[in-house]
Every structure is written in structure tokens, then in C-alpha cells.
Amino acid sequence: MALICFAIIVPQNYYLKELLTSSPRRNPLEKISHRGAHQALPENSIPAFLRAIELGADAIELDVHATSDGVVIVHHDPVAHAPGEARKRIADLSASELRRFPLAHGVEIPTLQAVLDAVGDRARVYVEIKATDIEPLVVRCIRESSASCAVHAFDHRVVKIVKRIFPAIRTGVLEVARHIDPVASLVAAGAQDLWQEVSFIDEELVARAHSANARVIVWTADDPDKWETLNEIGVDGICTDRIAELATWSLQLR
């Protein structure tokens, strides 16, 4: 009787379950304010960022674009709008023209440089690059500041470019899906942080990231019951719209 043998080919991204035991984070849970304390103040504004720090944020998360004259601007959307003004693309406006589009009375859309100067060393600043081809502008702004900064983006090519021109900076990749191999994007982009949307967080994902010496930051997590679970599975940071509540809740972890 002929002996028939079968070869089992194991893909490189396969993980043995015994290697995925839960691993505790090395540092305290990082409390990150999503666009600042924007329940009462304009989001992505200096007053909102400073208020978030007062409420207990370890870090703030913000979004950036750039004006036509190369000034890095902190704003979520690619367009600016204000009463009495037509909506305009930030990329089509100069920095001086952008002043016609305040966030609120007396509150201008800030430059990244102004935000970094205001925050100083009181909190880390996580910079999400929203626009394309502005990586050198963002890097220059960060290099000229003494603030602690990190960069992340949904476009992982942006992250890779930032890392190439500024190897020392901490970078992260944003994910809104549960990849079969969540570490692959980190490795490909040369990033250290996995920014994972809260719906797709599980213990295995956290263990895989930690096995690659990466951190897991969850966004945007606003449910206190969820915070408990996230803490138990060892996430490294929680980005939230409810920074005051998160800061109060985290006191029990000490």
C-alpha cells in the first residue's frame, strides 16, 4: 500500500494560541482627549485643548491640514465655514484668509505651532495628518517645537513618509477594521502605535500588537463599561470625547 503524505503549509501571519497570552502594558493607561474638551468649547481649539488638560488628559488628539501658503492648521474637516462666508477648502486659503473663518466669537482656527506652544510639556500631542503631501510641513513644525508629539493617519503611506523624514518620531496607523494580521500594517509603515476603532478591539489583537512591542490605542471609546473591559485586556491608551469622566474613572486604577 502506498503511503500518502500531506504537507500542511502554515502562513507566515499565523499565530500559535499559546503565544498570544494576555500581556500587561508596561505603563499606566494613557488618557487621550479627542479634539479637546469640545462639549462646551469649540473642538480642535486651543481653549478646548487646555481645558482637557485641566480635566486630567495625559494627551490630546487633533487633526491637521495646511493652507495654500504652507501653514499647518488644526481642523478636522478639509473645508472651513463661518456665518456669512462661503465654504472654502483650507488648502485654497492663505493663513491670513483663514482668519475670516473663526470657530466661535474670539476663537480662531489655530495653527499647529500655536497649539504646541500653548500645550508645552503638559501633555503629549497626537497629530493626525488628514491631508496629502503635507508631511514635511508637519514634521518641520514638530521639530521646531519642544512639545512631545506623535503622528498617525488613516493613510499608512503618510505614516511611512513621516517616519522616513523624521525617524525619531513616534508614529501610529489608524484602523477602522479588524485585520487578520493587525501587526502587518504596523510593520509595513514602521509604526509603533496601533490606533484601533473601539468596535474591533479584542484580547487577541492587543496580544499580537504587544508581541511586536507596539502599543494599542483605542478610539473613540466613550462608554465607561467598555473602559473596564479595555483596561482588563491591556490596551495602552483610550481616546475619548469624555475626558473628564475617563480621568475620574481612572483614579480607581491606582
Give the tens place of pLDDT for each residue, 31-69. Answer: 999 999 999 999 999 999 999 999 999 999 999 999 999
Domain membership of residue 203 as a residue range: 27-63+118-253
Find the range with the poorest average confidence among 7-11, 91-95, 189-193, 249-253.
Answer: 7-11
Q: Is residue 199 part of a domain?
A: yes
What is the number of structural domains in the chain? 1
Give the tens place of pLDDT for each residue, 126-166. Answer: 999 999 999 999 999 999 999 999 999 999 999 999 999 99
CA-based radius of gyration for the chain = 20
Query: Which pLDDT value is given to residue 27?
Result: 84
- 186-205: b (≥16 Cβ within 10 Å) or e: beebebbbbbbebeebebeb
Percent of the chain scoring above 90 in pLDDT: 85
What do you get for the CA distance between the two ends of the chain, in Å? 68
Find the range with the poorest average confidence among 2-16, 80-94, 110-124, 235-249.
Answer: 2-16
Q: Is residue 131 part of a domain?
A: yes
Q: Is residue 215 part of a domain?
A: yes
Q: Is residue 107 part of a domain?
A: no
Nearest to 93 by CA among 107, 104, 106, 108: 108
Q: What are 243's strand-pairing partners?
A: none
Q: Is residue 92 part of a domain?
A: no
Query: Which pLDDT value is given to residue 23?
Result: 63
pLDDT at residue 9 tops 60: no
CATH code at position 142: 3.20.20.190
Query: Which DSSP letter does residue 252 get?
Result: G
Q: Is residue 96 part of a domain?
A: no
Query: Which pLDDT value is given to residue 211?
Result: 94
Q: Is residue 88 part of a domain?
A: no
Q: Is residue 82 part of a domain?
A: no
